[in-house]
Amino acid sequence: MACQDQIDRFLALEQWFASPLGKHIAQAFDAELAHLKQLLHGDIMLQLGNSSENLWLSSLRFQHKWLAMTHLDPNRSTLVTKLNQLPLDRDSVDCIIAPLTLEAFTHLENPVDEWDRVLKPMGYLVFLGINPLSLWGGWLRYAKNSCFNGVRGYPKSVFSIKRALIHRGYMQCHFNAFYYAPPAKTEKWRRRLQILNVIGKMISPMPAGFYCLVVQKYVENNAVPEPETDLLADSTPIFRAQCLNPHQ
């Protein structure tokens, strides 16, 4: 992806998060990450892309919270860089959060190798993504009012992400699908369709629009202590059913 194309996409994404619909999704992301604050803590956290108010950052327990953006914002950005070419040392970050970041890249432009390079062993990758099989997936690919300002996005399935991470030595710590209401243009319809988010937790009339996937970077030569407690039970691990938390 050309530098200007990446700037345009992530500037449009930032502006979308400031819209009424984007604020609804940001609140859903905040609620999802609030459950992970016991797991996600450490020294340095890096978020890839600006999500307007970035509601969830205040609840995450990191000493340093860095924000990588494709364009300069003196009030927000810590790094101004292409998000698939980070100016950071290898193994320098404890946690990377990608809120709809992966959706900006095609399958041929997969930035996961670069994110893996800067992530410390036993560090966490957090994907907040759009389910390609949901109505939101169709909205991202075809709608003129999508989060990339009408430019086509590329939703990635959880399966494709896990498949890309298996040979890199990652294990799944947490997965949850959420937000069953479809994209609605008006506040009136957004309020009416919120009932689907309640019903979807019991029996889903349609696939959830979003997911939160947390994986941990596992290195073979690292000591692997047994965790004291299972912080986040998960039924579909990549390698192990329990998540290791080196910060506890």
pLDDT tens by residue, 66-95: 999 999 988 888 899 999 999 999 999 999
Q: What would the pLDDT profile of 228-243 be if each residue is shown by its tens digit?
A: 444 444 444 444 444 5
Asked whether residue 182 is domain-assigned, the answer is yes
- What was the pLDDT predicted at 109? 87
Q: What would the pLDDT profile of 121-168 be if each residue is shown by its tens digit?
A: 999 999 999 999 999 999 999 998 899 988 899 999 999 999 999 889
At 198, the pLDDT band (50, 70, 90 cuts) reads: confident
Instruction: Round to whole Å and give the CA distance between 115 and 119.
Output: 6
Instruction: Round to whole Å and give the CA distance between 239 and 170.
Output: 8
At 191, the pLDDT band (50, 70, 90 cuts) reads: confident
Helical H segments across 95-194, by residue range: 112-118, 135-142, 158-166, 187-193
Asked whether residue 53 is domain-assigned, the answer is yes
Asked whether residue 236 is domain-assigned, the answer is no
Asked whether residue 76 is domain-assigned, the answer is yes
User: Which of 112-121, 129-138, 197-206 shows the lowest mean pLDDT across its residues?
Assistant: 197-206
Asked whether residue 94 is domain-assigned, the answer is yes
Asked whether residue 245 is domain-assigned, the answer is no
Q: What is the DSSP letter of 221?
A: T
The H or E element that residue 215 is part of is strand 210-217
**CB-based contacts of 65, cutoff 8 Å, min separation 6:** 45, 47, 57
Asked whether residue 178 is domain-assigned, the answer is yes
- What was the pLDDT predicted at 221? 67
**CB-based contacts of 215, cutoff 8 Å, min separation 6:** 124, 125, 127, 162, 165, 170, 171, 172, 173, 238
**CB-based contacts of 22, cutoff 8 Å, min separation 6:** 16, 52, 147
- What domain range is 115 assigned to? 3-217
> Total domain count for the chain?
1
Residue type, position 143, single letter: A
Of 36, 11, 9, 13, the C-alpha closest to 26 is 13
- What was the pLDDT predicted at 62? 96
Asked whether residue 238 is domain-assigned, the answer is no
- What was the pLDDT predicted at 154? 96
What global pTM score does this model have?
0.85
Q: What is the DSSP letter of 226?
A: P
Of 171, 174, 165, 177, the C-alpha closest to 235 is 174
Q: Is 46 helix (H, G, I), strand (E, B) or coil?
A: strand
- What was the pLDDT predicted at 1? 62
Over range 177-188, report the average pLDDT. 90
**Locus of tokens 């108010």:** 53
- What was the pLDDT predicted at 239? 40
Residue type, position 23, single letter: K
Instruction: Round to whole Å and give the CA distance between 156 and 174.
Output: 17
What CATH number is associated with residue 66?
3.40.50.150
